[in-house]
Structure 1
Amino acid sequence: MRTGKLVSDPTVTVVSLDTVPAAVEIQDCLDATGYKLVYAKTRKVVPGTGAGRHLATATATRYPDGRWLISAGVAHEDQPC
């Protein structure tokens, strides 16, 4: 199970409102240093599951009914931030 807190502070980096469908690109630096994978029974950290800070990107698309939904997302664990 996971314990702790995953810290996120997303920023819109590209806005494309004149495209069909409209879309925005979002970039984030996910901080998982306080977010741990632990064994449920003992609460000990699972070896080899340490995490740090890494880049994440996502695309939000506006659908015909007016809702904005995340249509794509990637965690770039090889790119620290």
Structure 2
Amino acid sequence: MRTGTFVSDPTVTSVSLDSVPATVEIQDCLDTTGYRLVDAKTKRVVPGSGGGRHLATATATRYHGRWLINYGAGHEDQPC
């Protein structure tokens, strides 16, 4: 199971409201330094499950009056 805090503070990096459908690009620095995978029975941290900080990007598109994430990627090779 996971314990701790997963920190996310997304920012809209571009907006295209004139496109059909309208889209926005989102960028985030995901911080999982305080988020750990632990054994549910023993509550011990699973070795190698340490967190870090890395870039994440997403695209949201407006369909039928609702914003939906239609693409998302974590870039663990790009720290932030």
TM-score, scaled relative to structure 2: 0.97
Larger strand fraction of residues: 2
Write out per-residue CA displacement over residues 26-71 of structure 1, whole angstroms, 9 at most, x where no aligned residue. 00000000000010001111111111000000000000x1000100
| RMSD over aligned Cα atoms | 0.5
Q: What amino acid sits opposite 1:39 in the alignment?
A: D
TM-score, scaled relative to structure 1: 0.96
Equivalent pairs counted in the alignment come to 80
List 4+ stretches of structure 1 deviating above 6 A.
none
- Structure 2 unpaired stretches of 5+: none
- Structure 1 unpaired stretches of 5+: none
**Superposed, which structure 2 residues align to 1:4-15 within 5 Å?**
4-15=4-15
Percent pairwise identity: 79
